[in-house]
Amino acid sequence: MICMNRLILSIIPTLLLAACAAHAPKTAQWDPLTVLTDIEQKANASIEKQAPIQEGTVVLKGATVMTANGKIHNPGYVVFTDGRIVAVAQGNPEPIEGALVHDLKGAFITPGIVDTHSHLGVYPSPYAKAHSDGNEMTAPTTPGVWAEHSFWPQDPGIEKAVMGGVTTIHVLPGSANLVVGRGVTLHMVPHRGSRAMRFPGAPTGVKMACGENPKRVYGGKGRSPATRMANVRGYRSAFIKAHKHLEVMKKKGPDTPRDVEMETLVGILLGKFLPQVHCYRADDMLAFLQVADEFGFKVRSFHHGLEAYKIRDILAEKDVSVSTWADWWGFKLEAYDGIPENAALISKAGGKPVIHSDSSRGIQRLNQEAGKAYHSGLRANIELTENEALRWITYNAAWTLGIENEVGTLEPGKRADIVIWDKHPFSVYAKAQKVFVD
Amino acid sequence: MRFSFLSLIALCLIHVGTAHAQAPCTLITGAKVVLPGGASKVTNVTVAGEKILSVGQATSEKCERINGTGQVLAPGFIETQSSLGLVEVSLEHTSVDTSMTGKDSSPVPIRATFKVFEGFNPSSSLIAIARRHGITSSILLPSGGTISGQAAWVDLQGKTQAEAIRSEAIAMIAHIGQSGASRATSLHRLHTLFEEAQAFDSAAKDWKKNKSRPFIHVRELKAVLPVLQGQIPLVVSAHRASDIERAVALGGKFGIRVIISGGAEAWKLKELLAQKNIPVIVDPESNGPGSFDQIHGRADNAAVLEKAGVPLIISSFSTHNARKLAQMAGTSVREGLGYEAALKAITETPAKVFGLKGIGTIEAGATANIVLWSGDPLELSSAPTKLWIHGKLQSLTSRQSKLRDRYMTLPVKR
């Protein structure tokens, strides 16, 4: 409907209003998505330019090509031109004039790894109090903070992660708060500022947290939330406010008073921003899904969802991905029921497991972690394929971040984010030999 | 086949007195056996009672036979830097017993009398979880302070402390560097402690009379005497090269056997450490500047140290995830450590360095802490298929495997 379109704001409003007169409500409404998008465009404009793509044509051949899209070609090849994949197939490619050819006998080729949960840059190495910029522990609801404004681009962890085959990360603020703030998806091409590392077109994530952390942090200060029930009250009161703000946006359009907190929450209500929710226990996830239903938004992923296996049918049905570890558990009570077969069970139920790192160490070996989770599943007689397990660190992760049409599989048209491994990537001995971004 | 310890004893008793007394035994055939030194070959291993009776001999037909063809038989892995059985849930202080300072006591830096074994819980769910990944023994670490206390040695078996605890005091644990106190303060405390302990040792009678002198409590001095007398080593956690240098000097001054724990920058001192034969417990994940102490950490630390001749131990430096020990050894191989050296670093070397008598190798007379693996023990695709501790076949189920089984089928949704 053109009446709900941003063109209402254009220089010929009279004409359009006339055209729409038949359908227009008595008080004309603005499209809040348009209003928000305009704000975003100004706030997101980068001073630095994005990194240039690899120009020309590159051919990778002779290797086992694991596409993460169902097929494993052995031998297979991948061709990319000007940073985009143009061909992926079995056998050997026809010679291409002027192409740079890598003959990779014995090697394995996978899509670049995508990590949905990283604190690189916001908790950089070396650990330093002065650089601990991940948690705004001054109020339980801080949707106005953006992780990209804490991100220190000189974190040596970035390079280390690339050495482990990681090409895209989602950097989030911590989990001390109920609504913690915005996360940002970055392409792993180091720059002087985070803005130029933004993955082009990737939607904003919003980190929220369930369970022990918020109630421990604020309960410990004698403040709310001190209990799980107050956690839920906290989300609900935040979204009730956000709904009010949304109503104002509809009425006032660009004249809506700016609100740094509400603009983030409205982005969730409009489906523009993706909720990334830290939630360990199955019943905490169910409580959060209830909040999402009440306010009409969709959770994109539960992070650290160690108990997701207990409600994997529900998560699969609601199409919520689960970002989890291969084997972390027990460091707190809500992590006590974690099992190594979590990802495998979710996968088997038709859900979308993701192996994430949440660690500057783990991010360097996500291939091993996926391998562990895969083999744990096989040992428990859960039917799985290598392709499926590879998706836990590629396609499913890209989907979680809303960039699955750009990366996550080796397919023509996608960005050439590619890793060459010397051994099978699920082997403990495998090392990334070459990593391409664009 | 699984037989209980009691039935083993019963069988032993039956056979006692017969002319050709033969203990009940298990013969593992066809497996690739990891031998002392780390090399492997396909051979037979016979276990009788708690011990390995023979390696490489076909034995009596009376033995129960286990076909290990296509599998690998390795010594049980030894985790030297964990707190298995001392922690159930890290953030729940009522389930944490690693440190002298709980909620109700004030922190003191010298805790040499603190014996961590007292709090060991043989029923902890963490024990079976670690065992499922091939770990059969662990050094239990106290934490905190400049001297944290006395570490214990447990084998991961049994329902009682008596069955599991092999040594109540296998090492003394100390910290230099990032532990709250400044470096010089930590070192001052350590030097004072050992100087006074030496003085106390050489003149105990006079010492008792001299009540006016301010010194460290006699109980603490007594507790460190086994360190000064070389009976147990002092494990010093230190990452920065200069801290390691100080720890080596401390050991030299007092004639203490020092073991470096962590040692992210130990590679910088490889000649010194090799020359003084000072073992280093490496965390293969400390491969970068995680903290200011580890600015020069590198991925091939283990490989460099081993090549220089430094006794190398690999640890997961983890309690809940002690099970990643094999993965860490495998990761070190990826970074250039020899495969056999990596196996030794989680079996033979820790046993030797900590004086864990009878374990760490597969050879006649050794304690039968052994694990049959589905494949290469360091590879992610492998897992133990059978595991013996003191010759007794152990369960490979855990709280986690039971949880998995319980939720394998979901309740019908309403």
Helix (H, G, I), strand (E, B) or coil at B23: coil
Percent residues over pLDDT 90 in chain B: 82
Q: At residue A275, does pLDDT exceed 60? A: yes
Q: What residue has token string 């802490």?
A: B369
In chain A, CATH 2.30.40.10 covers: 42-111+409-438
Confidence category of residue A50, pLDDT binned at 50, 70, 90: confident
**Distances in Å between the alpha carbon of A145 and those of A207, A241, A265, B190?**
10, 17, 12, 46
- The verdict on B16 touching A (C-beta cutoff 8 Å) is no
Q: Using one digit for the tens of pLDDT, what is the confidence trace for B150-205? A: 999 999 999 999 999 999 999 999 999 765 678 999 999 999 999 999 988 887 76
Helix (H) or strand (E) holding B14: helix B5-15
Q: Using one digit for the tens of pLDDT, what is the confidence trace for B377-405? A: 999 999 999 999 999 999 999 999 999 99
Cα–Cα distance for residue pair B326/B337, rounded to 1 Å: 13
Which of chain B's residues have a Cβ under 8 Å away from the Cβ of A427?
A: 379-381
**Amino acid identity of A32?**
P
Please report the DSSP string for B66-81 in residue order: EE-TT-EEEEPEEEEE
| Half-sphere exposure in the Cβ direction for A82 (13 Å, CA) | 1
Beta strands in B94-163 (DSSP E): 135-140, 147-155
3-state helix, strand, coil in chain A (%, to 5): 35, 20, 45
Q: Using one digit for the tens of pLDDT, what is the confidence trace for B15-42? A: 443 444 444 899 999 999 999 999 999 9
Contact B12, B50 (CB under 8 A): no
Mutation choice for A interface testing from B380, B401, B410, B413 by most A CBs within 10 A: B380
- Radius of gyration of chain A, Cα coordinates, nearest whole angstrom: 23
Residue B178, pLDDT score? 60
Mutation choice for A interface testing from B86, B404, B409, B413 by most A CBs within 10 A: B404
Which of chain A's residues have a Cβ under 8 Å away from the Cβ of B177?
A: none
Q: What residue has token string 């026809």?
A: A94
Domain A42-111+409-438 falls in which CATH fold? Urease, subunit C; domain 1 (2.30.40)
Residue among B340, B330, B276 nearest B308 (CA):
B276
Residue contact A330–B323, C-beta within 8 A:
no
Cis geometry, peptide bond prior to residue B311 (ω within 30 degrees of 0):
no
Size of chain B in residues: 414
A126: nearest CB among B287, B292, B407: B292
Q: Using one digit for the tens of pLDDT, what is the confidence trace for B276-335? A: 999 999 999 999 999 999 999 999 999 999 999 999 999 999 999 999 999 999 999 999
Contact B390, B369 (CB under 8 A): yes
Helix (H) or strand (E) holding B202: helix B183-202
Residue B217, pLDDT score? 85
Q: At residue A6, does pLDDT exceed 50? A: no
Residue A94, pLDDT score? 95
Q: Using one digit for the tens of pLDDT, what is the confidence trace for A93-127? A: 999 999 999 999 999 999 999 999 999 999 999 99
Residue contact A331–B334, C-beta within 8 A:
no
A313: nearest CB among B289, B324, B410: B410
- The verdict on A14 touching B (C-beta cutoff 8 Å) is no
Q: Domain extents for chain B?
A: 77-360
Residue B103, pLDDT score? 53
Q: At residue B106, does pLDDT exceed 80? A: no
Rounded average pLDDT over A285-312: 98
B331: nearest CB among A156, A360, A365: A365
- The verdict on B324 touching A (C-beta cutoff 8 Å) is yes
Confidence category of residue A403, pLDDT binned at 50, 70, 90: very high
Residue A27, pLDDT score? 64
Q: Using one digit for the tens of pLDDT, what is the confidence trace for A11-37? A: 334 444 444 444 445 567 999 999 999
Weakest mean pLDDT among A6-10, A43-47, A264-268, A382-386? A6-10
Residues 6+ apart with CB under 8 A from B314: B281, B282, B284, B302, B325, B328, B329, B332, B342, B345, B346
- The verdict on A215 touching B (C-beta cutoff 8 Å) is no
Nearest CA in chain B to A120: B290
- The verdict on A347 touching B (C-beta cutoff 8 Å) is no
Confidence category of residue A305, pLDDT binned at 50, 70, 90: very high
Residue contact A333–B91, C-beta within 8 A:
yes
Confidence category of residue B207, pLDDT binned at 50, 70, 90: low
Residue contact A330–B287, C-beta within 8 A:
no
Rounded average pLDDT over A366-371: 98
A113-407 is a CATH 3.30.465.10 domain = no
Helix (H) or strand (E) holding B271: helix B270-275
Residue contact B320–A309, C-beta within 8 A:
no
Helix (H) or strand (E) holding B174: strand B165-175
Burial class (CB in 10 A: 0-12, 13-18, 19+), B69: exposed
Confidence category of residue B411, pLDDT binned at 50, 70, 90: confident
Rounded average pLDDT over B330-348: 98
**Distances in Å between the alpha carbon of B197 and those of B112, B215, B228?**
11, 10, 8
Weakest mean pLDDT among A281-285, B126-130, B208-212? B208-212
Residues 364-383 of B with CB under 8 A from A: 378-381, 383
Which of chain B's residues have a Cβ under 8 Å away from the Cβ of A330?
A: 88-90, 126, 320
- The verdict on A337 touching B (C-beta cutoff 8 Å) is yes
State in words which class domain B77-360 has.
alpha beta
Residue B19, pLDDT score? 40
Residue A111, pLDDT score? 98
Q: Using one digit for the tens of pLDDT, what is the confidence trace for A65-97? A: 999 999 999 999 999 999 999 999 999 999 999
**Distances in Å between the alpha carbon of A80 and those of A89, A102, A180, A316?**
12, 12, 39, 34
Contact B407, B138 (CB under 8 A): no
Burial class (CB in 10 A: 0-12, 13-18, 19+), A203: middle
Q: Using one digit for the tens of pLDDT, what is the confidence trace for B216-246? A: 888 999 999 999 999 999 999 999 999 999 9
Which of chain A's residues have a Cβ under 8 Å away from the Cβ of B334?
A: 428-431
Which of chain A's residues have a Cβ under 8 Å away from the Cβ of B323?
A: 327
Cα–Cα distance for residue pair A414/A408, rounded to 1 Å: 8
Q: At residue A9, does pLDDT exceed 90? A: no
Count of Cβ atoms closer than 10 Å to residue A428 Cβ = 25
Confidence category of residue B413, pLDDT binned at 50, 70, 90: low
Residue contact B323–A327, C-beta within 8 A:
yes
Cα–Cα distance for residue pair B203/B214, rounded to 1 Å: 16
Q: At residue B349, does pLDDT exceed 60? A: yes
- What ipTM, to 2 d.p.? 0.92
Cα–Cα distance for residue pair B101/B91, rounded to 1 Å: 15
Residue A51, pLDDT score? 77
**Angle subtended by helix axes B218-228 and B183-202, to nearest 10:** 90
**Amino acid identity of A144?**
G
Confidence category of residue B105, pLDDT binned at 50, 70, 90: low
Farthest CA pair distance, chain B: 80
Residue B5, pLDDT score? 46
The chain-wide mean pLDDT, for chain A, equals 93
Residue contact A330–B89, C-beta within 8 A:
yes
Q: At residue B6, does pLDDT exceed 60? A: no
Pairing of strands B135-140, B77-82: parallel
